[in-house]
Structure 1
Amino acid sequence: MESHKGYFKGILAIVIASFLWGTTGLAASYSETVSPLAIGALSSLIGGILLVITSRNKLLIDYKLMLQQPALLLLGAISVAIYPLAFYSSMRLSGIAIGTVVSIASAPLFAAVLDRLISKKYISLQWFLSFIIGAIGIILLVLGKEQSHLEANNLHEEAFGALLGCVAGLAYASYSWVAKRLIENGVHSRSSMSGLFGCAALLLLPPLWFTGDNLFSNSTNISISLYIGIIPIFMGYLLFGFGLNFIDASKATLITLIEPLIATVLAVCIIGEKFKVIGWVGVCLVSLCLLIQTIKPPSLNTRRAELVRSE
């Protein structure tokens, strides 16, 4: 019973984190005079510092264990640093909805590949079914976007934005996988996330230095960076790390497909982006994908016990 409770706690934590992350594109859209690299670097820097400060007691206990796994720590830190730079640049070039969709939708596939090739974990039929439904839903979301001034952008820029979204998806899957491996190796979830983000904060200082010209030019830009750093990143990744205690990285990244749903709804309701009926069918399919992921399949021991009782 406790394992089932933990499983649903993990799902709930990641769903809430995804809601918070879904607001980042809307917030960043109000800082058009600021480089997306600067927004991503500063917000992640703020979030990383807060994670380290609030998790310092756990870090003091676990830092030696983390340093004993330098390859994992380095891969995770680099992935965390790359993600916001690629993610916010993708949204700037391709639009909020599509940039978020590509970045998040590609992550579950990368996470599953990492789980299978490196961790040698079994990928269930439930995961594949859920992924296919979610992927179709994401495609319909992209195709369902009505023409607007965003489509007047240079085609090469939009293609490059989609490519950056895939880079962001790979980075997201990589640091999710690293965080899960650290947790499995005995590191507390808060130490895992705060350690990765703390190291990434150092790596983000050079991009911030070279791209942050207009970052402090007005209160709006500062407020947006503070919001993204404190709410989606700091609070979101505390919840995400907690959720990884109970579910695999491949499943966690699949659940976060709710993030582009939130980003799409906000883009429609607040910014005025419009979607055709086919786009809303995509919303329903992604919701079905998430529903499938909330169903915990019975363990092998449970199935065996049921067979014994039936005999």
Structure 2
Amino acid sequence: MSKKLAYVAVLIGAILWGTTGTAQTFMPSTIAPLTIASTRLAVGGFTLLLALLLMKKISVRGWPWKLTIIAGLAMALFQFCFFSSVRLTGVAIGTVVAIGSAPIFSGILEWVLLKKKPTKNWMIATVLSIVGCILLFSDKEGMVVNPLGVVLSLGAGLMFAVYTLFNKKMLKQVDAVPAVAITFSISAAVLLPFLFTSSKEGILTVPGIVGTLYLGIAATSIAYIIFSFGLQRISSSSAVTLSLAEPLTAAVLSFFVVGERLAFVSWIGVALLLGGIVVLTFGGSKEEKEMEMKAEIGM
């Protein structure tokens, strides 16, 4: 897979994640957010794992368990922190802080742990995308800045960055499909207790079942498999920045499908987000290639 196709793959994964909010609007509102989070991981992880086991397409011999467990726990904590922060401080603040802080945390982690300095294109794209994300949600009503909610949002951003970094390390040793299956099965097992403590009313209705299957299969299994295929070829910081296509997709779908209003400032945010994605997709691959060539000749 070429670098540009890798960027596109990560982008497609993020777009699929962005359909989550719209899909939830067609599900009964009585289903608690943490119930949705845990069931989507269970459907996405356990179903894929069972299918691979039945086809004998997975082997745990020599499996990088340390990396997988860290990635699985990070994803489970991301789900918990994000949905808890949204409950405390609202969708707008929770989303902006969590999704907007993830690229920053990812860049810092790569710099500290991998000694890999952020590229110029990454910094430009990240700034454009974060500002765009802030403007996208700045017009939302009823915004409440809850300190604990903001801390949990930052925790969610950090956990997504940790998941991406360790998932990339894992993908150097194993294939993407079994990696997603085992990682998300671990995440689902960690979040399983929430199925017994959160509201499940409406989960067994037709909209509840269809929505859960879509979220588990399309917005989780397929999305993260495609994301992982792309992640194998690009840096984790670039992948996390491209994941800002998620709120962009959610906003566009909310306007065209759900019928929500987007103010002029929100459309500016959309434009900046698109700008950041274009800069990273077309400029990032060229810049990373040049850096690789310099490293090979010892410059």
The two structures share one fold, judged by TM-score above 0.5: yes
Residues 14, 301 of structure 1: alpha-carbon distance in 2 compared, 3 angstrom cutoff? closer
What's the CA shift for 1:211?
Answer: 1.7
The answer to whether the 8 Å contact 1:58/1:188 transfers is no
What residue is the counterpart of 2:13 in the other structure?
Answer: 17
What residue is the counterpart of 1:33 in the other structure?
Answer: 30
Separation of aligned partners in 2, 1:304 and 1:85: 40
2:267 to 272, 280, 286: 280
Separation of aligned partners in 2, 1:11 and 1:64: 29
TM-score, structure 2 length as denominator?
0.86
Residues 303, 282 of structure 1: alpha-carbon distance in 2 compared, 3 angstrom cutoff? same
Q: Is 1:207 aligned to residue 194 of structure 2?
A: yes
Separation of aligned partners in 2, 1:216 and 1:282: 34
What residue is the counterpart of 2:49 in the other structure?
Answer: 52
What residue is the counterpart of 2:74 in the other structure?
Answer: 79
Separation of aligned partners in 2, 1:203 and 1:301: 38
The answer to whether the 8 Å contact 2:93/2:145 transfers is no
Instruction: Describe how 1:250-269 pairs up with structure 2 within 5 A.
Output: 250-269=237-256
What's the CA shift for 1:63?
Answer: 4.5
Separation of aligned partners in 1, 2:238 and 2:253: 25
CA RMSD after TM alignment: 2.6
Q: Is 1:175 aligned to residue 163 of structure 2?
A: yes
Separation of aligned partners in 2, 1:114 and 1:35: 33
1:103 to 98, 104, 108: 98
What residue is the counterpart of 1:232 in the other structure?
Answer: 219
Is the deviation greater in 104-113 or in 264-273?
264-273
Q: Is 1:299 aligned to residue 296 of structure 2?
A: no
What's the CA shift for 1:108?
Answer: 1.1
What's the CA shift for 1:33?
Answer: 0.6
What residue is the counterpart of 2:277 in the other structure?
Answer: 290
What's the CA shift for 1:48?
Answer: 0.7
TM-score, structure 1 length as denominator?
0.83
The answer to whether the 8 Å contact 1:83/1:172 transfers is yes
Separation of aligned partners in 1, 2:290 and 2:52: 34
The answer to whether the 8 Å contact 1:41/1:204 transfers is yes
1:188 to 175, 183, 200: 175
Residues 200, 302 of structure 1: alpha-carbon distance in 2 compared, 3 angstrom cutoff? closer
What residue is the counterpart of 2:209 in the other structure?
Answer: 222
Separation of aligned partners in 1, 2:220 and 2:292: 38
Q: Matched residue of 1:65: which SS?
A: coil
Aligned-residue sequence identity (percent) comes to 30
2:130 to 131, 135, 146: 135
Structure 1 unpaired stretches of 5+: 306-311
Read off the aligned partner of 1:252 and give its amino acid letter. A
Separation of aligned partners in 1, 2:215 and 2:208: 11
What's the CA shift for 1:101?
Answer: 4.0
The answer to whether the 8 Å contact 1:105/1:138 transfers is yes
Residues 301, 195 of structure 1: alpha-carbon distance in 2 compared, 3 angstrom cutoff? closer
Read off the aligned partner of 2:63 and give its amino acid letter. L
Read off the aligned partner of 2:215 and give its amino acid letter. I
Separation of aligned partners in 2, 1:51 and 1:196: 11
Structure 2 unpaired stretches of 5+: none
Separation of aligned partners in 1, 2:229 and 2:105: 21
The answer to whether the 8 Å contact 1:189/1:241 transfers is yes
